[in-house]
Each structure stands twice: as structure tokens, then as C-alpha cells.
Amino acid sequence: MEIILLVIAGIAVLLGLYLWNTYNSLVRLNVRVEEAWSDITVQLKRRADLIPNLVEAVKGYAKHEKEVFENVTKARAATVSPEALQSPAVSAQAEGDFTNALKSLFAVAEAYPQLQANAGFLNLQAELSDTEDKIMASRRFYNGGVRELNIKIKEFPATLFVRGLGFKEREFFEVADSAAIAEPPKLKF
């Protein structure tokens, strides 16, 4: 009888250690995903802060392209809206729209050789390209964290109890029109 109690106590201790370890690893993964999402929003904000300067630089040369500027401004606002910053799906849609608006802006800029030679505009172009690279890296880091968290949640036997502990799968940052963002906008100046 005493051996049975020791075996039961041993199993209970092992189960407790397993639950403790699983919970702590899920907390770590969840925090990493939150950190990665924060990195994305920081880079989106950085890019959004560059866009008004870029638009103003192009506006000086292309005063008659009002619709292009309005579209870029609206798309920029959508990428940093509270809705977009809370949901990867909404953010991904805004990203696609923004990329398309930027393509239109760069198409307008290509028509103005003086603008292409402007040092301020070239600096903005370099900053924007650097920011786009950082956004892509942040997305990869975020999706990697989501992958690890989702795997941990789905693994057996953790899947039997982790949802009861408040953990749920996260959605990947996937853009509906992946071709639109496969590469940063081409800047031909």
C-alpha cells in the first residue's frame, strides 16, 4: 500500500513539474509573440512617419497628382490605425493597400527627373527602403514566434489543458495579396 502511495505521489510530482514547465514555456512564447508584434508596429509607425515627408517632396514637383497623394495618405493612416495594430489580418490588408498606393506615388515621381536627383528625396528613399527591410524581418520574427507558440499549444498532451489555462493559437501575419509585398516597392530614381 505504501508503494502505491509513493508511485501515485511520484506521478503527481511529475505531472506537476510537467504542467509547471509547459505553462512557463507557453508564457515565454506568448511574450515573444507580443514582443514581435510590437516590433512590427514600431516599424510600421516609423514608415508612416517617413511617408508625409516623401509625399511633400513629390508634391513640390507634381502638384496636379492630388488623387495619388490622397490615396497614399489614406493608406498610410490605415496601416497605423488602432484596428490594424491589433490584428495581423487587418494589418496585412492595410499593408497590401499601402504598397499599391506607394507604387502609384513612385510612378509619379519617376516622371520628374529633378526630383530623382534631389538629395532629400534620395535620403527619404533610402530610409523607406531600410524600413521596409526591417518590417519584413519583424514579420518573419513574429511568424516564427507564432509558429512556436501554436506548435506548443497543439502538441499532445499539452493540447488537453492549455486552452483552459488561457492560451490560444495566434494568427500569422499573412498578406492577402502576397505578390504585392513580395518585394519592397521598386524605386527607380
Segment 92-139, tens digit of pLDDT: 888 888 888 888 877 777 777 776 667 777 787 888 888 888 888 998
Q: Which domains does the chain have, with CATH numbers?
A: 2-181 (1.20.1440.20)
Q: What pLDDT, in 10s, does the model give residues 27-54?
A: 999 999 999 998 888 888 888 888 888 7
Question: What's the sign of the alpha-carbon dihedral 121, 124, 130, 131?
Answer: negative
Indicate if the pLDDT at residue 88 is higher than 60. yes
User: How far is the CA of 53 from the CAs of 40, 65, 124, in angstroms?
Assistant: 21, 16, 8
**Stretch 72-87: mean pLDDT, rounded?**
83
Task: Give the pLDDT confidence score for residue 189 in this predicted structure.
Answer: 42
| Stronger pLDDT, 25 or 123, i.e. the higher one | 25
Phi, psi of 6, deg, nearest 5 = -65, -40
pTM comes to 0.68
CA dist 49 and 132 (Å) reads: 13
Amino acid in position 80: V
Spell 4-16 as b/e; 16+ CB within 10 A means b: eeeeeeeeeeeee
Q: What is the pLDDT of residues 49-72, one digit of tens each?
A: 888 887 777 776 666 567 777 888
84 pLDDT tier (thresholds 50, 70, 90) = confident
Q: Which three cell numbers stand for residue 158?
A: 499539452
| pLDDT of amino acid 188 | 47
User: Which is more confidently placed, 179 or 109?
Assistant: 109
Q: How many CB atoms lie within 10 A of CB 73?
A: 14
Q: Directed axis angle between helix 88-110 and helix 2-59, to 10°?
A: 20
What residues have CB less than 8 Å from 87, skipping those under 6 apart?
A: 171
DSSP 61: T
